[in-house]
Structure 1
Amino acid sequence: MQAPVVVMNTQNGDRQIGRKAQLSNITAAKTVADIIRSCLGPKAMLKMLLDPMGGIVLTNDGHAILREIEVAHPAAKSMIELSRTQDEEVGDGTTTVIILAGEILAQALPQLERNIHPVVIISAFKRALADALAIVQDISRPVNTSDDESMIDLIESSIGTKTIARYSALMCSLALRAVRTVSQDQSFASNTHLTNGAPSGSPSKKPASAPKVHEVDIKRYAKIEKIPGGEIEASRVLDGVMLNKDITHASMRRKITNPRIVLLDCPLEYKKGESQTNVEISNEDSWNRILQIEEEQVKKMCDAVLSVKPDLVITEKGVSDLAQHYFVKANVTALRRVRKTDNNRIARAVGATVVNRVDDLQESDVGTGCGLFEIEKIGDEYFTFLTKCKNPKACTILLRGPSKDILNEIERNLQDAMSVARNVLFHPRLCPGGGATEMAVSVRLAQKAKSVEGVAQWPYKAIADAMEVIPRTLVQNAGASPIRILTKLRAKHAEGGSSWGIDGDTGNVVDMKEYGVWDPEAVKSQSIKTALESACLLLRVDDICSAKSAKQGGGDMGAGGED
């Protein structure tokens, strides 16, 4: 009779070990979610972060906060990774995804206490995820990406909760113009090349069903340059590229109209020995000959560059004094030690090719797409402007503002706005904002839960309850009564009004169709997917083990090496 009892105790013991790890993970996830819960919505509070160097960051951007804070718990680290994933994937909704994941795990706790096996809970969560994504798709509506007004309204809803909300009209137009500039060659030209014939040099005609947008690389080709000083209203998108560089020689031209531009990825200096070369000189003539060879080599390089008649030479490496002398004689301006990323951006903006060897330079490599090259002094520094480009496929956003802290916050907010604009070009569908989408998912999942059989009904219903956390947090942050407002909102959704949400300023229930707050469907779907998948992952953990350190693993020799 004793044996079965022992077995039962062992199972309970195993379950207790697993429960301990799950409770620890859930607590850590809830703690991370609680840190940034007050950062959701237009009435969001700011966090002041102190970095180890003594600097401060003032922001309510969930991703920026979580990136700066230091945590030791593995589950908390996993949660912080979520916001990074969300930021890289869609650029917005980083706060939402953390709050949602924390609440889903909190709702999983009562299910574990009911002794429902984590695998059963996870399968119910996966089923709820599939249904939730179908509901988001159902309540979304298409948007015309070429209509500036509706696009600006959409971007405004993404930055209405940020510090720069008071400059939202300016920032939205900056974000939209930057994204349009970068995506011009793919999204808009791709529609025309099907009707006007393939562009010259294209390998083959694309089928009529080709997607509209192939690539909108805002990280690489839409650079934000921050210059403290001046007013925020003076910020603008340049139809070209700006560099923090000055000319190499005082006699070179500082302003050129319609310049011919050559981009190089090689030094205009004499070539040094590739390996550690030793040269022994026995007489003075040999020394003079070595110097003469160096000069001849530099002259040959300069002649190769000047043969294509450039007005402006930009290189990623150095330019020797002798090369500068030849360029000044030929009335050519030179910039040196330009970053590789900036050089690639210039190449796209002016239609030039970055050349690795001056001997390979051809007429076709010269960029002629720039209308104006000039160097301006802003504050104490000189900046190079390559503007009035005919078809700039890359751009620079010039931000002005009173201090570095404010400029950094504006940059973070502007990145979110550009990500939203890019997402809508890829997936031109919108969902109602202000917690309306989450509430619609919650109400419909609660109705569907009745048809779920067995114990899986409880965890399925838990997802419906967890989705309410977004509208509830919006109401709390606006200082209104959550119970009364949520009951009112639930009633509206039960009647079929899936576009009703929360006015983040007052905390009242409003119809988002009239209020005009919309979010890209890509952001909403990604938030729900990321939050649910990570909750499932953390629920599957039943023990937390510490890995063996290198000192223990290496034996005496390893220990000696460490010392």
Structure 2
Amino acid sequence: MYSGGQPVVVLNQNTKREQGRKVQLGNVQAGKTIADVIRTCLGPRAMLKMLMDPMGGICMTNDGNAILREITVQHPAAKSLIEVARTQDEEVGDGTTSVIILAGEVLQISEPFLTQNMHPTVIISAYRQALEDMQDILKGQVSMEVDVTNRDDMLRIIKSCIGTKIISKWSDLACTIALDAVSTVSMEENGRREIDIKRYAKVEKIPGGAIEDSCVLRGVMLNKDVVHPKMKRKITNPRICLLDCNLEYKKGESQTNIELSKETDFARILELEEEYIRQICADVIAVKPDLVITEKGVSDLAQHFLLKAGISVLRRVRKSDNNRIARACGATVVNRTDELKEEDVGTECGLFEVRKIGDEYFSYIEECKDPKACTIVLRGAGKDFLMEVERNLQDAMNVARNVMVDGRLTPGGGATEMAVAWALNEKAKSITGVEQWPYRAVAKSLEVIPRTLIQNCGANTIRTITALRAKHATPGNTTWGIDGESGNIVDMKEFGIWEPFSVKAQVYKTAVETAILLLRIDDIVSGTKKQAGGGDVPQQAAASEGPEA
């Protein structure tokens, strides 16, 4: 709508609007608030957060992504920061806490420039330049190649990643499980290594027993029992047939009403049902399987025919589990029984056995020759503990996957950040003009990671960070960082704490790009209605450390 040549923004009475510097400073504040919530969750001395969900369930964790998922926030900028943690988790599966702390710090350092009326475009331009240089420094000066076939090196790398988690007490076991699981599901396709942990490495949690009983199965385990008590519960070298169809009579939609005129009609209908089930069972029996697994139901009559043929049956198995079994034993999932062929039968499994653990029955399909899928069986004291162990294990598996896909490492314990910060400061001397200051500020913001590590283990922050700066000022000292347990300065090369290059690169990229995105916002228009009391709904940074009641 135009009035006298001037554009006019028309807002209704329920619409609130904030503009310009106020919005940018509000976004900075929101980022700082979210970063402060999980700042204490970094490093081996990390504190735990206790989260309560609306249903009254409790979750205790120091996993950045798990905490942010449960936090309820109102501010739109804070919501985008929480999305950042989710993106980081989906991309590389690690570094969720670091990315939020760094993004919050990069936003915070832009506050003085905004208050001095420096234009956001100038700040953003400097940030972009700094990000490009960070990636180059990381790849060229700080990272190093690693031999992914060396098992001891791989175990050491995974160990350094779970040192901050609850599972670190059983780190040798956890590292072995993570590496075995990832090696099992690793596949070479068209010259590229494909590792799909989410789909093919399933974690099954069974409360009870000791955590030392946890293991990786060379195959698949299901929380299922055979459908008939007389069916065989242990088969050596079974022939496995996988189905995605019902082994029962399925009435058509138009067959809901049937009119019977003669006494023999009902008997004929039963005969038709029996003939149909006899036929589909004959199709299955023709390929001589020992074990049939279907995603749908199996009728009593079908059970009878299959039992007579000496075949064991599992029914109502999840599609994802069926796909895992197909990869593990070399079978093909078939949608219709009349399409079953000899090559669809899986023969690469060494043992099928139903075992009872506690009150429940579990079907083990294991000892597969070359399984490209696996099940991780976790045992432990209670459900909450097992859930936290599973989260830790997922991080460990992601680290193993990242190193296998991109075999480069960077030193941990804040050493990478200090090395990159020092190199950026040196580069800043060659930059002229006002952009030099935001560029230097990005270098300073990287120090938040070692600084937080020092704070979390209660050491003297200023003295330690100054000594660390002095170490990195000497050329070639790129591996000096913080021992997260004691707060002392150590050489990460000797200390053995390494992080995957892909995680670090993703952390920097995501953190700086998120800060750039939030700085570009200069207008927030929200159509929230006024409350009954007449006051506006507050839209400033509101981050509560737990879900809304």
Question: Given the two structures, how large is their TM-score scaled by the length of structure 1?
Answer: 0.89
Establish whether residue 441 from structure 1 lines up as the match of residue 443 from structure 2: no
Residues 21-40 of structure 1 mapped to structure 2, 5 A cutoff: 21-40=23-42
Q: Tell me the residue number matched to 1:168.
A: 171
Does structure 1 retain, via aligned residues, the 8 Å contact 2:19–2:524?
Answer: no
Q: Tell me the residue number matched to 1:202.
A: none
The one-character-per-residue Cα deviations of 1:489-510 (angstroms, maximum 9, x if unpaired) are 0001010211000000000110
Greater RCO structure (CA 8 Å; 6+ sep):
2
Q: Tell me the residue number matched to 2:49.
A: 47
Residues 439-518 of structure 1 mapped to structure 2, 5 A cutoff: 439-496=418-475, 497-518=477-498
Establish whether residue 533 from structure 1 lines up as the match of residue 513 from structure 2: yes
Which of residues 524, 546, 549 in structure 1 aligns to 2:526?
546
Where in structure 1 are there 5+ consecutive unaligned residues? 1-15, 191-205, 550-563
Q: Tell me the residue number matched to 1:77.
A: 79
Q: Tell me the residue number matched to 1:6.
A: none
Letter in 2 for 1:148: R
Distance 2:23 2:405 in 1: 40
Distance 1:316 1:415 in 2: 27
Q: Which 4+ stretches in 1 moved above 6 angstroms?
A: none
The one-character-per-residue Cα deviations of 1:205-248 (angstroms, maximum 9, x if unpaired) are x6xxx34x1x1000000000000000001100000000000010
Distance 2:472 2:385 in 1: 40
Letter in 1 for 2:354: I
Q: Tell me the residue number matched to 1:8.
A: none
The one-character-per-residue Cα deviations of 1:16-37 (angstroms, maximum 9, x if unpaired) are 9311101111111110000000
C-alpha deviation, 1:427, in angstroms: 0.5
Which of residues 392, 397, 400 in structure 2 aligns to 1:413?
392
Distance 1:448 1:310 in 2: 69
Q: SS where residue 455 of structure 1 aligns?
A: coil
The one-character-per-residue Cα deviations of 1:252-307 (angstroms, maximum 9, x if unpaired) are 00000000000000000012114464321112211110110000000000000000
The one-character-per-residue Cα deviations of 1:297-336 (angstroms, maximum 9, x if unpaired) are 0000000000000100000000000000001111110000
- How many residue pairs match? The answer is 510
Residues 159-558 of structure 1 mapped to structure 2, 5 A cutoff: 159-183=162-186, 185-186=187-188, 210-211=191-192, 213=193, 215-275=194-254, 277-496=256-475, 497-547=477-527
Question: Given the two structures, how large is their TM-score scaled by the length of structure 2?
Answer: 0.92
C-alpha deviation, 1:546, in angstroms: 1.1
Distance 1:293 1:49 in 2: 57
Worse-matched range after superposition: 446-455 or 75-84: 446-455
Letter in 2 for 1:133: Q
More strand by share: 2
Q: SS where residue 45 of structure 1 aligns?
A: coil
More helix by share: 1
Which of residues 150, 153, 157 in structure 1 aligns to 2:160?
157
In the superposition, relative to structure 1, how do residues 526 and 299 fare at CA in structure 2: closer, same or farther (>3 Å)?
same
Distance 1:484 1:152 in 2: 34
Distance 1:103 1:75 in 2: 14
Q: SS where residue 374 of structure 1 aligns?
A: strand
Letter in 2 for 1:112: L
The one-character-per-residue Cα deviations of 1:446-470 (angstroms, maximum 9, x if unpaired) are 1111111111011101101100000
C-alpha deviation, 1:366, in angstroms: 0.2
What is the RMSD of the two structures over their aligned residues, measured on CA atoms?
A: 1.1
Q: Tell me the residue number matched to 1:557.
A: none
Distance 1:226 1:242 in 2: 11
In the superposition, relative to structure 1, how do residues 375 and 465 fare at CA in structure 2: closer, same or farther (>3 Å)?
same
C-alpha deviation, 1:438, in angstroms: 0.6
Does structure 1 retain, via aligned residues, the 8 Å contact 2:244–2:294?
Answer: yes
Q: SS where residue 454 of structure 1 aligns?
A: coil
The one-character-per-residue Cα deviations of 1:92-135 (angstroms, maximum 9, x if unpaired) are 00000000000000001011112110011001000000000111
The one-character-per-residue Cα deviations of 1:364-385 (angstroms, maximum 9, x if unpaired) are 0000010000000001100000
Does structure 1 retain, via aligned residues, the 8 Å contact 2:20–2:523?
Answer: yes
C-alpha deviation, 1:423, in angstroms: 0.5
